[in-house]
Structure 1
Amino acid sequence: MVSYALGLDYGSDSVRALLVNTATGEEVASSVVNYPRWAKGLYCEPAADQFRQHPLDYLESLEQALASLWQEAPEGAAQSVVGISFDTTGSTPVAVDSDGVALALKPEFAENPNAMFVLWKDHTAVKEAAEFTAAANRSEPNYLKYEGGIYSSEWYWSKALHVMRADSAVKEAVHMWVEHCDWMTAVLTGTTHPDAFRMSRCAAGHKVMWHESWGGFPANEFFAGVDPILDGLVECLPTETFTADQKVGELTDEWAQKLGLPAGIPVGFSAFDCHMGAVAANVQPGVLTKVMGTSTCDITIASADAIGDTCVRGICGQVDGSVIPGMIGLEAGQSAFGDLYAWFKKLINGPAVAIIEQSDVLDDASKQKLLAELDDKALIELSAAAQAIPAGKSGVTALDWVNGRRTPDADQTVAGAISGLKMGSGAAEVFRALVEATAFGARAIIERFREEGVAVESVVAIGGISKKSDFVMQTCADVWNCPIDVLDSDQSCALGAAIFAATVGGAHTDVASAQKAMGSQVCKTYQPNSDAALVYDKLYRQYETLGQFAEGDKS
């Protein structure tokens, strides 16, 4: 009898639902739904680094995605779903009350951005992150030793502290903070109440300072020492965490009806998108899986014996079981990748967009058509022109820190920079430098792993950019001087979630068996060009020099 697994992938802009045959790995149906409030820019202030998302965006989009999925899926497929698993961006926490209700779902907080989910790329908590880093460096043990040694403004505790300092109403109403990935599984299984709530290993270990060696989370005294406003908050969290091959609970009658599924289907513990994407990519030691989208997330694994006592500096954590049960999962990434290209497109298109929008000659339909063409074609034309410039001939060097730096050595106060501009520098030269900058930023991560004794011999790329741009991918292969395999699946993170769903649902005895049957194949491999690699060795040193200058002058 055919059985299916349902993987649900919550990205920055949309939710993706993927239905996968558990025996063959065939992706039989998929759907994508954009978050309506997010698309309008509600609750966000980009100039202030504030990015918030309403929980209704997540819930309503989920229902819409499943309704669309069943229109495409084989007749009766919903009745053959054996398991459900989620992945989400992160760290993306939300404040909940003593009944486990997200504050933004209550009338008095319905339009309050501080009651929304604080999206991963919200950088309003830079000050708070620095305070946690300083406190951890004074403590014994150092509670950041397994999280790269630096706490980030993108992570759970700094965001919670910042919001509670900024909003007394939220501070008075909050009982605890919950990661998006854990909230979704709790909603579907009816375990949102703090007495029933349980946490995933991935989120807790990489962003919330959980580690088995200190019995869960840091002591309450540590948090109260950072700010008394945090006193008692950590004691509301469960100290036990669970890997994604384990079951949270069963799909409730209410949500079964909303999603068109049978009640009682197992729902697995969640993880962050990149971690589950790596599982779909058959992650293994020595191979770095890179999820390439608006930002990047880099994942590899190692055995406990291989890691030993090493605490890798400046990454986003090393956590037992966060990717594959029984292996140490290591995470790094860049705060901007595709976002840097989108920023440049917006920059150069800005005047034309304004002229079109303000035109008295064009009707609305013509305006929309021109704006769509401008948006669609700008990066295509730029890429073609930039690709024609030989490596090292643009004369321009750039930094990729337009949204701060995630790794190595998190610092959201740094900014992008461009040097070497001359009268002959055009949009193509600058765009090429920006593409090279994103590749250089990724190389810095690879070099840090290698310096710390973690092998990186090749890269597997997943995500939209890996399938859309030969120019970007070949540049990366040349800069990294290693082969890059691109996965065939267009929904690798959702596929990883489906692999765990199949395991939780009993279609496979363990994750390794599910990976073997359902993991994605490679559709294309990029080999480095040796001549270009030599040029980029020199240009990378210029990138490092520019970075040192920019950091020294960031005040």
Structure 2
Amino acid sequence: MPRNAVIGVDIGTSSSKGVLVGLDGTLIRSAVREHTPARGGPGRFEMDAAVWWEEFTGLTRELTAAEDAAVSAVGVSGMGPCVLLTDEHDTPLRPAILYGVDTRSVRQIERIEARLGAEEIIRRGGSALTTQAAGPKIAWIAEEEPELYARARRLYMPSSWLVRRLTGAYVLDHHSASQCTPLYDTHARQWYAPWAAEVAPGIELPPLRWSGEAAGTLTADAARETGLPAGIPVTTGTIDAWAEALSVGAQHTGDLMLMYGTTMFLVHTVPEPLTSESLWGTVGALPGTRNLAGGMATSGAVTNWLRDLFADGDHAALTRQAAESGPGANGLLMLPYFSGERTPVMDPDARGVIAGLTLSHTRGDLYRAALEATGFGVRHNIEVIEGAGGDIRRVVAVGGGTQGSLWTQIVSDITGRPQELRTITVGASYGGALLAAGLVRDVSVDDWNPVRETVTPNPGRTERYDDLYALYRRLYPATSDVVHALAALQDR
């Protein structure tokens, strides 16, 4: 007899992932579809929304092919904040502009800040206006592609686009809306009409719900395309990092989630609104929650880049070689700003730097330096979070980068902080499944996904990393003038 189950699907930067999960939290099956964002030039990352739906339907059919489970609900999440504009018939007008890895909207940020006031934007919207925000991306389309924008009527992100295709509902979750700076008022928890009219004129902004609320039920047409039962509920969904946090129970005051993926994301849950020019203040995925968040533009993207540079390289072999390299990577130091940097540097023109290279350095040294660069970036973000009033009491790690022990150990050694690892660390798709299960029964993440182990820092290595971290913090200001000049050449 088929067991009762739910499905969670996440649309990520480099892949879409789906999981079939029993109502007790047991991971029955998983599936992946890899993809690559389109690059229209330096600082541009786009993706066709047709890919999201094609991969979603492929995942659901693969997950249910064995017919050993009766799916009772669906949860969705995706990278964000992204900007997909459609006409009144929900026909996409162009590929979606992705989140902060796409840095094209610098001039729009300057113009919006001049009109609305940088301090007032932070006060009302919770965050400084950066290339992470959805508002300037919408403004870029309006200014650079005016004929196309004249036909634009609706705004979608990956999760809300899936909801539309599955249920017919046009909705967005509050957390995703809070990353649409400056369109959303984080204090009132609603769209701020005066600024929406200023920055996104003519766009019918979606009604707002919380991530775990049902957006609607699966239509007959969607059932035929996905192979799922018609009439089952679908969650409103959210941005992937927040679904990741839910998947490992990192939603309590004082929690900090570290998401080890293509990028590194940090989500700290706070009891009241906190703001910082160098971080993002948002509402949370669950009602009543608030976050102070940060994100590095690259982390796993750099290790993937290194793997691809070496014709016979693979992550397992490179990780072994990095372990042999030892703390400090034999005198190599890397700035991981290969796609600019988000928090806390907030510099779209930052670039990667590898300092200290000699002819004796190995692939393992380079790979180790990349892993340590992520650790130094996490420590920098943690210091800024606590400087803004955050109170980090527990660190929980999630994502593909937690599968091996080296990366998480390096980060704990650099930061001096333990990290909890839950039994299942697949991340956002599992968090989506958890929210979906909540539509049909009461669930507890501690029952679903208990703590497996805690990574503890090695005091001796932490002391050694203190000196290297001081050099890391000096490297960006020492090289930024040269790097910015090089970034300008890359844009030509």
Check whether TM > 0.5.
Answer: yes
User: Which residue of the other structure, out of 16, 24, 39, is the alignment partner of 1:44?
Assistant: 39
* CA displacement 1:487-536 (0-9 Å, x = unmatched): 321422111111111222x312xxxx442442x22333321110110111
Q: Distance in 2 between matches of 1:338 and 1:61?
A: 22
- Does structure 1 residue 15 correspond to structure 2 residue 47? no
Q: Distance in 1 between matches of 2:409 and 2:165?
A: 42
Deviation at 1:214, TM superposition (A): 5.4
Q: Distance in 1 between matches of 2:189 and 2:385?
A: 27
Tell me the equivalent position of 1:211: 185
CA RMSD after TM alignment = 2.4
- Does structure 1 residue 515 correspond to structure 2 residue 482? no
Identity %: 22
User: Which residue of the other structure, out of 286, 307, 323, is the alignment partner of 2:254?
Assistant: 286
- Does structure 1 residue 411 correspond to structure 2 residue 347? yes
Q: Distance in 1 between matches of 2:46 and 2:473?
A: 33
- Does structure 1 residue 546 correspond to structure 2 residue 471? no
Tell me the equivalent position of 2:131: 153
Q: Do the aligned residues in 2 keep the contact of 1:288 with 1:299 (CA within 8 Å)?
A: yes
Q: Do the aligned residues in 2 keep the contact of 1:146 with 1:311 (CA within 8 Å)?
A: no
Q: Do the aligned residues in 1 keep the contact of 2:328 with 2:369 (CA within 8 Å)?
A: no
Cα 1:502–1:540 change in 2 (3 A) is same
Q: Distance in 2 between matches of 1:122 and 1:72?
A: 39
Deviation at 1:54, TM superposition (A): 1.4
TM-score normalised by structure 2 residue count = 0.90
Q: Do the aligned residues in 2 keep the contact of 1:143 with 1:218 (CA within 8 Å)?
A: no
Q: Distance in 2 between matches of 1:215 and 1:34?
A: 35
Q: Do the aligned residues in 2 keep the contact of 1:291 with 1:298 (CA within 8 Å)?
A: yes
Cα 1:134–1:281 change in 2 (3 A) is farther
Tell me the equivalent position of 1:314: 278
Deviation at 1:5, TM superposition (A): 2.0
Tell me the equivalent position of 2:488: none
Q: Do the aligned residues in 1 keep the contact of 2:138 with 2:200 (CA within 8 Å)?
A: no
Q: Do the aligned residues in 1 keep the contact of 2:125 with 2:181 (CA within 8 Å)?
A: no
Q: Do the aligned residues in 2 keep the contact of 1:200 with 1:269 (CA within 8 Å)?
A: yes
Amino acid at match of 2:44: Q
Tell me the equivalent position of 2:490: none
Deviation at 1:480, TM superposition (A): 0.9
Deviation at 1:280, TM superposition (A): 1.3
> Structure 2 matches for 1:457-472, cutoff 5 A?
457-467=393-403, 469-472=404-407
Which blocks of at least 5 consecutive residues in structure 1 are unaligned?
104-114, 192-196, 225-229, 354-373
Cα 1:425–1:261 change in 2 (3 A) is closer
Q: Distance in 1 between matches of 2:186 and 2:296?
A: 27
- Does structure 1 residue 87 correspond to structure 2 residue 97? no
Q: How many residues align?
A: 480
What secondary structure sits across from 1:84 in the alignment? strand
Tell me the equivalent position of 1:398: 334
Q: Distance in 2 between matches of 1:147 and 1:533?
A: 37
Q: Do the aligned residues in 2 keep the contact of 1:66 with 1:260 (CA within 8 Å)?
A: yes
Deviation at 1:231, TM superposition (A): 6.1
Q: Do the aligned residues in 2 keep the contact of 1:302 with 1:327 (CA within 8 Å)?
A: yes
Q: Distance in 1 between matches of 2:200 and 2:83?
A: 18
Q: Distance in 2 between matches of 1:380 and 1:32?
A: 19
Q: Distance in 1 between matches of 2:480 and 2:108?
A: 20
* CA displacement 1:66-119 (0-9 Å, x = unmatched): 111112451xx23xx33212110111221110223222xxxxxxxxxxx01122
Deviation at 1:423, TM superposition (A): 4.1
> Structure 2 matches for 1:160-171, cutoff 5 A?
160-171=138-149
Cα 1:131–1:427 change in 2 (3 A) is farther
Tell me the equivalent position of 1:125: 105
Deviation at 1:129, TM superposition (A): 3.1
Q: Do the aligned residues in 2 keep the contact of 1:31 with 1:69 (CA within 8 Å)?
A: yes
Deviation at 1:338, TM superposition (A): 0.6
Q: Distance in 2 between matches of 1:273 and 1:137?
A: 30
User: Which residue of the other structure, out of 506, 528, 531, is the alignment partner of 2:460?
Assistant: 531
Q: Distance in 2 between matches of 1:475 and 1:131?
A: 41
Q: Do the aligned residues in 2 keep the contact of 1:279 with 1:496 (CA within 8 Å)?
A: yes
* CA displacement 1:236-285 (0-9 Å, x = unmatched): 214x5211121211111110122222222111111111111111111122
Amino acid at match of 1:515: V
Deviation at 1:135, TM superposition (A): 4.1
Tell me the equivalent position of 2:89: 99
* CA displacement 1:526-549 (0-9 Å, x = unmatched): 211101101111111111111222
Q: Do the aligned residues in 2 keep the contact of 1:301 with 1:329 (CA within 8 Å)?
A: yes
* CA displacement 1:376-413 (0-9 Å, x = unmatched): 3xx44433333223424622222111111111142211
TM-score normalised by structure 1 residue count = 0.80
- Does structure 1 residue 59 correspond to structure 2 residue 53? yes
Tell me the equivalent position of 1:485: 420
Q: Do the aligned residues in 2 keep the contact of 1:414 with 1:550 (CA within 8 Å)?
A: no
Q: Do the aligned residues in 2 keep the contact of 1:30 with 1:72 (CA within 8 Å)?
A: no
Q: Do the aligned residues in 1 keep the contact of 2:321 with 2:364 (CA within 8 Å)?
A: yes
User: Which residue of the other structure, out of 333, 336, 341, is the alignment partner of 2:298?
Assistant: 336
Q: Do the aligned residues in 2 keep the contact of 1:405 with 1:411 (CA within 8 Å)?
A: yes
What secondary structure sits across from 2:64 in the alignment? helix
- Does structure 1 residue 325 correspond to structure 2 residue 259? no
Cα 1:529–1:136 change in 2 (3 A) is farther
Amino acid at match of 1:294: T
Deviation at 1:219, TM superposition (A): 4.3
What secondary structure sits across from 1:143 in the alignment? helix
Q: Do the aligned residues in 2 keep the contact of 1:7 with 1:501 (CA within 8 Å)?
A: yes
- Does structure 1 residue 34 correspond to structure 2 residue 7? no
Amino acid at match of 2:262: T
Tell me the equivalent position of 1:116: 95
Q: Distance in 1 between matches of 2:328 and 2:398?
A: 27
Q: Distance in 2 between matches of 1:314 and 1:135?
A: 21
Q: Do the aligned residues in 1 keep the contact of 2:118 with 2:129 (CA within 8 Å)?
A: no
What secondary structure sits across from 2:393 in the alignment? strand
Pick the structure with greater CA Rg. Answer: 1
Q: Distance in 2 between matches of 1:186 and 1:317?
A: 27
Amino acid at match of 1:8: V
Q: Do the aligned residues in 2 keep the contact of 1:51 with 1:118 (CA within 8 Å)?
A: yes
Which blocks of at least 5 consecutive residues in structure 2 are unaligned?
486-492
- Does structure 1 residue 438 correspond to structure 2 residue 374? yes
User: Which residue of the other structure, out of 206, 214, 232, is the alignment partner of 2:201?
Assistant: 232
